[in-house]
Structure 1
Amino acid sequence: MIEKSLQRLAFKRAFTTTPIRSVHFAEGVYSNLPFKVLNRKIPYGVIHFGFFGLGFAVPFLIGFVQMKKSGNI
Structure 2
Amino acid sequence: MLARAFQRSSVRQFSASAKQLSGPHFPEGVYNNLPFKVKNRRIPYAVPHLIFWIAGCAGNL
TM over 0.5: yes
Q: Give TM-score, length-normalised by structure 2.
A: 0.55
Residue type of the alignment partner of 2:26:
F
Work out which of the two has the higher radius of gyration on C-alpha atoms and give 1 or 2: 1
Whole-angstrom distance in 1 between the partners of 2:23 and 2:39? 22
Structure 1 stretches of at least 4 aligned residues deviating more than 6 Å after TM superposition:
none
C-alpha RMSD of matched pairs (Å): 3.3
Residue type of the alignment partner of 2:2:
I
- Percentage identity across paired residues of the two chains: 40
Indicate the structure with greater helix content.
1
> Quick one: structure 1 residues 51 and 20, their matched pair in 2 at CA, closer, same or farther if it must change by over 3 Å?
farther
The offset of 1:21, in angstroms, is 5.5
Residue type of the alignment partner of 2:53:
F
Structure 1: gaps (5+ residues)? 61-73
Greater relative contact order (Cα < 8 A, sep 6+): 2
> Quick one: structure 1 residues 57 and 3, their matched pair in 2 at CA, closer, same or farther if it must change by over 3 Å?
closer
Whole-angstrom distance in 2 between the partners of 1:26 and 1:41? 23
1:50 corresponds in structure 2 to: 51
2:13 corresponds in structure 1 to: 15
Q: How many residues align?
A: 57
Residue type of the alignment partner of 1:51:
F
Whole-angstrom distance in 1 between the partners of 2:25 and 2:34? 15
